[in-house]
């Protein structure tokens, strides 16, 4: 199934159109101006953790090239930019002194983009936790909730009125499960019990931070960003159907039920048995603060199987360089389901994009597959809105090719190509399409 080509006119005038990045993936300057080490700096130093042996020391050098990048963002014609703050850049050890030089960097960036009419959507935690906090257990230690709340409050106090939204955490599932259970992301721990405790503390710190930031009297919309996708059983067997339900519980319901119903789903807690998190009285009510928006990061759908590993090729659909199936309908389906089951006030597609191998030919990067991916997912977002789902924005991941975590620099998600030797930025055809789409007024002419 393909969707009709979208046009900007089909969306409300105040629809948020953006591009997204995160601090560790683009900033570089890992020791500049008093920045402390993050868990990703430490993780990259461990042999074999990053596919190409790379690290975030330079990344896209955004810390030094931010002015050029501001021009790039504004030049795309987007009205919004989603970015994250590096906690160890502004508070090197996560619990002590503030680093004014770090804050000054974000202040310059925020002011420059606001001056260009680009609204800023800030994420407080896009994974680069101060290493000093990891040394005392990181997200698995309940004490971190207080540290995170203090950091969030300070950032909101300084910048809140200049931000279009504040998101506490990016993808708590990824932090907890890939970081503490599978150990393939920082901090590289392999313990399901710690992972579930980390999950609980991420959600608890989110609720505590929201309460504290709101107590400042700010009207800035506040929320959280989850990585979500529809999950299907790989076959009609009762085992696969049960597995799909459980996986949906572990990935979606655990987070959504906590945030919107102040409870963890009983089937999942039962399944986790002794690995279920320790929950104190009052925690669930703290977690379930009312959210001004729910951010959804969507890349693909998933299949659950009890037997042989499920093979993505069996779908017959195109597969990205990450090995992820291209399935735009999954986004429509997901948005409709979230609306139906949980009624978030508004939803925002906070990340969506694709890694493909790019060919740079005489200054042109004809990334047809990425272009089609973005176009189809914008259309899929439109289809959800038509079905009555309150979606207020779409952010393409990502502005730039960047450090793709454990995959290093080999996987390119950027609408803008980065030559990591020279740091030259070049708009790919997908960026040019997005620019054109955003400037287009007449229906159907994209
Ligand atoms: C998401 C992350 C983002 C990026 C994309 C591809 O899980 O939030 O930083 O790596 O995946």
pLDDT tens-place string over residues 246-267: 999 999 999 999 999 999 999 9
Q: Tally helices (H) and strands (E) across the chain.
A: 16, 14
Q: How many CA atoms lie within 13 A of 171 on its CB side?
A: 20
Q: What is the pLDDT of residue 440?
A: 86
Mean pLDDT of 68-76: 98
Q: What is the pLDDT of residue 2?
A: 83
C-alpha 155/C-alpha 89 separation (Å) is 12
91 CB within 6 A, ligand 1 = no
Q: What is the pLDDT of residue 210?
A: 98
- The DSSP result for 235-256, as a single string, is SSSHHHHHHHHHHHIIIIIHHH
Residues with active-site annotation: 171, 351
- The DSSP result for 51-96, as a single string, is TTS--SSSTT-HHHHHHHHHHHHHHHT-SEEEEE--HHHHSTTSSS
Ligand 1 atom at minimal distance to the Cα of residue 404:
10
Q: How many CA atoms lie within 13 A of 381 on its CB side?
A: 33
Mean pLDDT of 173-189: 99
Q: What is the pLDDT of residue 441?
A: 65
So what CATH class is 8-439?
A: alpha beta
227 CB within 6 A, ligand 1 = yes
174 CB within 6 A, ligand 1 = yes
Q: Is residue 444's pLDDT more than 50?
A: no
Higher-confidence residue of 443 and 70: namely 70
Q: What is the pLDDT of residue 145?
A: 99
Top mutation candidate among 125, 297, 298, 323 for ligand 1, by most atoms within 8 Å of CB = 297
Q: Is residue 209's pLDDT more than 90?
A: yes
Antiparallel, parallel or unpaired: β 293-297 and 302-304: unpaired
Element holding 117 (H helix, E strand):
none
Mean pLDDT taken over the chain: 97
Q: What is the pLDDT of residue 141?
A: 99
Antiparallel, parallel or unpaired: β 416-419 and 424-427: antiparallel
- Tell me the two tokens of residue 174: 């990824």
- Tell me the two tokens of residue 164: 């279009």
Pinpoint the alpha helices (H) of 251-390. Answer: 254-261, 266-272, 283-287, 329-342, 368-386
C-alpha 76/C-alpha 198 separation (Å) is 38
- Tell me the two tokens of residue 415: 């609408």
Q: In angstroms, how far is the first alpha carbon of the chain from the final one?
A: 19
How close is the Cα of 184 to the center of ligand 1, in Å? 14
How close is the Cα of 40 to the center of ligand 1, in Å? 14
Q: What is the pLDDT of residue 308?
A: 86
Mean pLDDT of 225-243: 97
321 CB within 6 A, ligand 1 = no
C-alpha 253/C-alpha 266 separation (Å) is 10
Q: What is the pLDDT of residues 74-102, one digit of tens each?
A: 999 999 999 999 999 999 999 999 999 99
How close is the Cα of 383 to the center of ligand 1, in Å? 24
3-class DSSP state of 407: helix
Q: What is the pLDDT of residue 442?
A: 41
C-alpha 317/C-alpha 356 separation (Å) is 15
- Tell me the two tokens of residue 86: 């590096």
Q: What is the pLDDT of residue 443?
A: 41
Cα 407 to Cα 53, 54, 321, 329, 374, distances in angstroms: 9, 9, 11, 27, 22
Q: How many CA atoms lie within 13 A of 248 on its CB side?
A: 15
Q: Is residue 186's pLDDT more than 80?
A: yes
Q: What is the pLDDT of residues 285-334, one digit of tens each?
A: 999 999 999 999 999 999 999 988 899 999 999 999 999 999 999 999 99
Do you know the residue count of the chain? Answer: 446
How close is the Cα of 358 to the center of ligand 1, in Å? 19
Cα 55 to Cα 52, 59, 102, 409, distances in angstroms: 9, 8, 20, 9
Supply the residue whose CA is at minimum distance from atom 9 of ligand 1. Answer: 22
Q: What is the pLDDT of residue 446?
A: 41
- Tell me the two tokens of residue 82: 């989603």
How close is the Cα of 154 to the center of ligand 1, in Å? 26
* Alpha-carbon 326 to chain mean position: 18
C-alpha 137/C-alpha 159 separation (Å) is 29
Number of Cβ within a 10 Å radius of residue 157: 13
Ligand 1 atom at minimal distance to the Cα of residue 411:
6
Q: What is the pLDDT of residue 116?
A: 98
Q: What is the pLDDT of residues 386-442, one digit of tens each?
A: 999 999 999 999 999 999 999 999 999 999 999 999 999 999 999 999 999 999 864
Ligand 1 atom at minimal distance to the Cα of residue 22:
9
């Amino acid at each position: 199934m393909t969707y009709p080509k979208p046009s900007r006119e089909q969306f409300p005038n105040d629809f948020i159109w953006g591009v997204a990045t995160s601090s560790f993936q683009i900033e570089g300057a890992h020791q500049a101006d008093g920045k402390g080490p993050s868990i990703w700096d430490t993780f990259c130093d461990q042999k074999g953790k990053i596919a190409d042996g790379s690290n975030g020391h330079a990344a896209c050098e955004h810390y030094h090239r931010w002015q050029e990048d501001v021009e790039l963002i504004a030049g795309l014609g987007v009205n919004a930019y989603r970015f994250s703050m590096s906690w160890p850049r502004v508070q090197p050890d996560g619990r002590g002194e503030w680093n004014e030089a770090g804050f000054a960097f974000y202040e310059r960036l925020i002011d420059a983009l606001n001056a260009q009419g680009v609204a800023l959507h800030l994420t407080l935690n896009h994974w680069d936790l101060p290493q000093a906090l990891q040394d005392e257990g990181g997200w698995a230690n309940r004490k971190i909730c207080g540290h995170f709340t203090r950091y969030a409050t300070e950032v909101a106090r300084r910048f809140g009125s200049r931000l279009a939204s504040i998101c506490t955490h990016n993808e708590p599932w990824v932090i907890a499960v890939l970081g503490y259970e599978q150990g393939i992301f920082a901090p590289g721990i392999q313990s399901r019990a710690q992972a579930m405790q980390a999950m609980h503390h991420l959600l608890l710190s989110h609720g505590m931070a929201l309460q504290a930031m709101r107590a400042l009297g700010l009207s800035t919309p506040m929320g959280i960003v989850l990585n979500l996708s529809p999950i299907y059983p790989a076959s009609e067997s009762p085992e696969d159907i049960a597995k799909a339900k459980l996986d949906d519980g572990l990935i979606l319901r655990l987070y959504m039920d906590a945030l919107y119903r102040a409870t963890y789903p009983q089937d999942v807690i039962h399944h986790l048995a002794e690995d279920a998190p320790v929950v104190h009285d009052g925690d669930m009510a703290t977690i379930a603060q009312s959210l001004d928006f729910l951010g959804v990061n969507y890349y693909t759908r998933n299949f659950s199987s009890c037997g042989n590993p499920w093979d993505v090729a069996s779908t017959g659909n195109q597969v990205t360089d990450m090995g992820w199936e291209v399935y735009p309908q999954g986004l429509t389906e997901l948005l409709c389901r979230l609306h139906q089951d949980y009624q978030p006030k508004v939803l925002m597609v906070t990340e969506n994009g694709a890694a493909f191998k790019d060919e740079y030919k005489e200054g042109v990067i004809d990334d047809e597959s990425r272009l089609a991916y973005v176009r189809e997912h914008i259309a899929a977002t439109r289809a959800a809105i038509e079905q009555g789902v309150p979606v207020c924005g779409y952010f393409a991941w990502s502005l730039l090719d960047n450090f793709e975590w454990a995959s290093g620099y080999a996987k390119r998600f950027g609408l803008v190509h980065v030559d990591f030797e020279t740091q030259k930025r070049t708009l790919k055809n997908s960026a040019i399409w997005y620019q054109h789409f955003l400037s287009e007024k007449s229906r159907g002419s994209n």
